[in-house]
Amino acid sequence: MIQTLYNKHPHSTIAIVGSGPSALKYSHAEDIGIALNGALNLDADFDYFQGFDIGICARDYFYKNTKPTRIIGVGLAPMDKILYPDATTRSVVRGHTIRETSLGLPTPPHLYFRYEKKTTPNFNRHLQILSAAGNIVVCSIETALIMGADEIHLYGIDLSRRMYFYENVPHGSYIARVSDYVNDQLSMCEDNGVVIKVCRSKDSAIKIGADI
Protein backbone atom coordinates (compact mmCIF):
# COMPACT_ATOMS: atom_id res chain seq x y z
CA MET A 1 0.00 0.00 0.00
CA ILE A 2 2.95 2.35 0.56
CA GLN A 3 3.47 2.47 -3.19
CA THR A 4 0.32 4.58 -3.54
CA LEU A 5 2.70 7.38 -2.51
CA TYR A 6 5.18 6.64 -5.30
CA ASN A 7 6.42 9.89 -6.86
CA LYS A 8 3.55 11.83 -5.29
CA HIS A 9 5.96 14.69 -4.49
CA PRO A 10 8.63 14.50 -7.22
CA HIS A 11 11.86 16.46 -6.80
CA SER A 12 10.65 17.78 -3.45
CA THR A 13 12.38 18.75 -0.24
CA ILE A 14 10.86 16.70 2.57
CA ALA A 15 11.31 17.39 6.28
CA ILE A 16 11.19 14.46 8.69
CA VAL A 17 10.54 15.63 12.24
CA GLY A 18 11.21 13.45 15.25
CA SER A 19 10.92 14.15 18.97
CA GLY A 20 14.45 15.29 19.81
CA PRO A 21 15.21 18.84 21.03
CA SER A 22 15.99 20.21 17.56
CA ALA A 23 12.39 19.50 16.50
CA LEU A 24 11.56 22.89 17.99
CA LYS A 25 13.38 24.55 15.07
CA TYR A 26 11.06 23.05 12.46
CA SER A 27 8.99 25.73 10.69
CA HIS A 28 7.54 23.95 7.64
CA ALA A 29 9.95 25.74 5.29
CA GLU A 30 10.22 22.57 3.22
CA ASP A 31 7.76 21.37 0.56
CA ILE A 32 6.46 18.50 2.70
CA GLY A 33 6.60 17.75 6.44
CA ILE A 34 6.35 14.30 8.01
CA ALA A 35 5.77 14.13 11.76
CA LEU A 36 7.01 11.07 13.63
CA ASN A 37 5.34 9.98 16.87
CA GLY A 38 5.50 12.75 19.46
CA ALA A 39 6.33 15.45 16.91
CA LEU A 40 2.56 15.93 16.86
CA ASN A 41 3.05 17.80 20.13
CA LEU A 42 4.52 20.66 18.11
CA ASP A 43 2.35 23.61 17.21
CA ALA A 44 3.25 23.18 13.54
CA ASP A 45 1.70 22.20 10.23
CA PHE A 46 2.44 18.72 8.92
CA ASP A 47 1.37 16.99 5.73
CA TYR A 48 1.85 13.45 7.05
CA PHE A 49 2.08 11.60 10.35
CA GLN A 50 3.95 8.28 10.47
CA GLY A 51 4.26 5.72 13.25
CA PHE A 52 4.35 1.98 13.87
CA ASP A 53 5.15 1.43 17.55
CA ILE A 54 2.06 -0.16 19.11
CA GLY A 55 2.67 1.80 22.32
CA ILE A 56 1.95 5.19 20.77
CA CYS A 57 -1.79 4.54 20.45
CA ALA A 58 -2.02 5.08 24.21
CA ARG A 59 -0.09 8.37 24.16
CA ASP A 60 -1.89 11.70 24.43
CA TYR A 61 -0.37 12.94 21.19
CA PHE A 62 -1.71 10.12 19.01
CA TYR A 63 -4.85 12.11 18.16
CA LYS A 64 -3.54 15.55 19.05
CA ASN A 65 -3.31 16.67 15.42
CA THR A 66 -5.67 14.83 13.10
CA LYS A 67 -5.08 16.98 10.01
CA PRO A 68 -2.05 15.18 8.50
CA THR A 69 -2.51 12.14 6.30
CA ARG A 70 -1.67 9.18 8.53
CA ILE A 71 0.82 6.51 7.43
CA ILE A 72 0.51 3.81 10.08
CA GLY A 73 2.30 0.49 10.44
CA VAL A 74 0.01 -2.47 9.79
CA GLY A 75 0.51 -3.80 13.33
CA LEU A 76 -0.80 -0.57 14.87
CA ALA A 77 -3.36 0.32 12.19
CA PRO A 78 -6.32 -1.60 13.71
CA MET A 79 -6.10 0.61 16.82
CA ASP A 80 -6.27 3.86 14.86
CA LYS A 81 -9.78 5.31 14.99
CA ILE A 82 -9.01 7.65 12.11
CA LEU A 83 -7.99 4.84 9.79
CA TYR A 84 -10.92 2.66 10.90
CA PRO A 85 -13.63 4.87 12.45
CA ASP A 86 -16.36 2.25 12.09
CA ALA A 87 -14.50 -0.73 13.54
CA THR A 88 -16.42 -2.51 16.29
CA THR A 89 -13.46 -4.60 17.48
CA ARG A 90 -9.86 -3.51 17.63
CA SER A 91 -6.71 -5.50 18.27
CA VAL A 92 -3.06 -4.89 17.49
CA VAL A 93 -1.70 -7.28 14.89
CA ARG A 94 1.27 -8.88 16.65
CA GLY A 95 3.87 -10.98 14.89
CA HIS A 96 2.36 -10.48 11.45
CA THR A 97 4.13 -7.38 10.24
CA ILE A 98 3.87 -8.30 6.55
CA ARG A 99 0.20 -9.38 6.68
CA GLU A 100 -2.66 -7.13 5.64
CA THR A 101 -4.96 -6.11 8.45
CA SER A 102 -8.24 -8.03 8.59
CA LEU A 103 -10.17 -4.73 8.66
CA GLY A 104 -9.47 -4.08 4.98
CA LEU A 105 -8.32 -0.78 3.53
CA PRO A 106 -8.38 2.28 5.79
CA THR A 107 -10.36 5.47 5.25
CA PRO A 108 -8.73 7.55 2.47
CA PRO A 109 -6.40 9.36 2.27
CA HIS A 110 -4.92 7.53 5.26
CA LEU A 111 -2.96 4.34 4.72
CA TYR A 112 -1.01 1.63 6.47
CA PHE A 113 2.36 0.22 5.55
CA ARG A 114 3.82 -3.23 5.86
CA TYR A 115 7.28 -3.68 7.37
CA GLU A 116 9.79 -6.35 8.27
CA LYS A 117 13.00 -6.53 10.24
CA LYS A 118 16.08 -5.71 8.17
CA THR A 119 19.73 -5.43 9.18
CA THR A 120 21.16 -3.44 6.26
CA PRO A 121 19.69 -0.48 4.37
CA ASN A 122 19.20 -0.23 0.65
CA PHE A 123 18.25 2.58 -1.73
CA ASN A 124 14.97 1.70 -3.43
CA ARG A 125 12.11 4.02 -4.38
CA HIS A 126 9.92 1.04 -5.24
CA LEU A 127 9.80 -0.66 -1.83
CA GLN A 128 6.59 -2.50 -1.02
CA ILE A 129 7.68 -3.41 2.52
CA LEU A 130 9.52 -0.90 4.71
CA SER A 131 12.38 -1.62 7.09
CA ALA A 132 11.85 -2.20 10.79
CA ALA A 133 15.29 -1.45 12.18
CA GLY A 134 14.56 -0.14 15.65
CA ASN A 135 13.20 3.32 14.94
CA ILE A 136 10.46 4.90 12.84
CA VAL A 137 12.97 7.28 11.25
CA VAL A 138 14.24 4.37 9.13
CA CYS A 139 10.77 3.84 7.65
CA SER A 140 10.25 7.56 7.18
CA ILE A 141 13.42 8.03 5.14
CA GLU A 142 12.27 5.20 2.89
CA THR A 143 8.84 6.85 2.66
CA ALA A 144 10.39 10.18 1.63
CA LEU A 145 12.32 8.42 -1.11
CA ILE A 146 9.18 6.68 -2.35
CA MET A 147 7.44 10.07 -2.46
CA GLY A 148 10.16 11.35 -4.78
CA ALA A 149 12.33 13.46 -2.48
CA ASP A 150 15.47 14.98 -3.95
CA GLU A 151 16.35 16.50 -0.58
CA ILE A 152 15.63 15.27 2.96
CA HIS A 153 15.90 17.45 6.06
CA LEU A 154 15.96 15.91 9.54
CA TYR A 155 14.73 17.73 12.65
CA GLY A 156 14.54 16.27 16.14
CA ILE A 157 16.45 13.20 15.02
CA ASP A 158 19.71 13.00 16.94
CA LEU A 159 19.68 9.38 18.18
CA SER A 160 22.25 10.24 20.81
CA ARG A 161 19.97 9.74 23.78
CA ARG A 162 16.28 9.26 24.43
CA MET A 163 15.43 12.83 25.35
CA TYR A 164 12.29 14.31 23.79
CA PHE A 165 11.54 18.00 23.43
CA TYR A 166 8.37 17.51 25.49
CA GLU A 167 9.68 15.17 28.22
CA ASN A 168 12.84 13.53 29.56
CA VAL A 169 13.07 9.74 29.50
CA PRO A 170 15.96 7.37 30.29
CA HIS A 171 18.58 6.67 27.66
CA GLY A 172 17.91 3.55 25.58
CA SER A 173 20.82 1.19 24.87
CA TYR A 174 19.50 0.42 21.38
CA ILE A 175 20.10 3.97 20.17
CA ALA A 176 23.72 3.33 19.13
CA ARG A 177 22.66 0.42 16.93
CA VAL A 178 19.93 2.50 15.32
CA SER A 179 22.25 5.44 14.66
CA ASP A 180 24.70 3.19 12.81
CA TYR A 181 21.88 1.95 10.58
CA VAL A 182 20.55 5.46 9.93
CA ASN A 183 23.99 6.86 9.13
CA ASP A 184 24.51 4.05 6.61
CA GLN A 185 21.04 4.70 5.21
CA LEU A 186 21.69 8.44 4.80
CA SER A 187 25.11 7.80 3.27
CA MET A 188 23.44 5.58 0.68
CA CYS A 189 20.98 8.38 -0.07
CA GLU A 190 23.83 10.80 -0.71
CA ASP A 191 25.58 8.27 -2.93
CA ASN A 192 22.40 8.24 -5.04
CA GLY A 193 22.18 12.02 -5.36
CA VAL A 194 19.74 12.81 -2.54
CA VAL A 195 20.77 15.88 -0.53
CA ILE A 196 20.73 15.32 3.24
CA LYS A 197 20.60 18.17 5.76
CA VAL A 198 20.28 17.84 9.53
CA CYS A 199 19.23 20.22 12.28
CA ARG A 200 21.53 18.89 14.98
CA SER A 201 21.36 19.19 18.72
CA LYS A 202 24.38 18.75 20.96
CA ASP A 203 25.94 15.26 20.79
CA SER A 204 23.97 14.28 17.70
CA ALA A 205 24.79 10.76 16.51
CA ILE A 206 23.79 11.63 12.93
CA LYS A 207 27.07 12.21 11.11
CA ILE A 208 25.84 12.35 7.51
CA GLY A 209 24.58 15.52 5.86
CA ALA A 210 25.21 19.25 6.10
CA ASP A 211 23.89 21.34 8.96
CA ILE A 212 20.64 23.24 8.56
**12-69 pLDDT tens trace:** 999 999 998 899 999 999 999 999 999 999 999 999 999 998 889 999 999 999 999 9
Nearest 5°: phi and psi at 141?
-65, -45
pLDDT in tens, 60-119: 999 999 999 999 999 899 999 999 998 877 777 766 667 788 888 999 999 999 999 888
pLDDT surpassing 90 at residue 203: no
pLDDT in tens, 147-167: 999 999 999 998 876 678 888
Domain boundaries, the chain: 2-211
Nearest 5°: phi and psi at 146?
-60, -40
Q: Are strands 129-132 and 195-198 parallel, antiparallel or unpaired?
A: unpaired
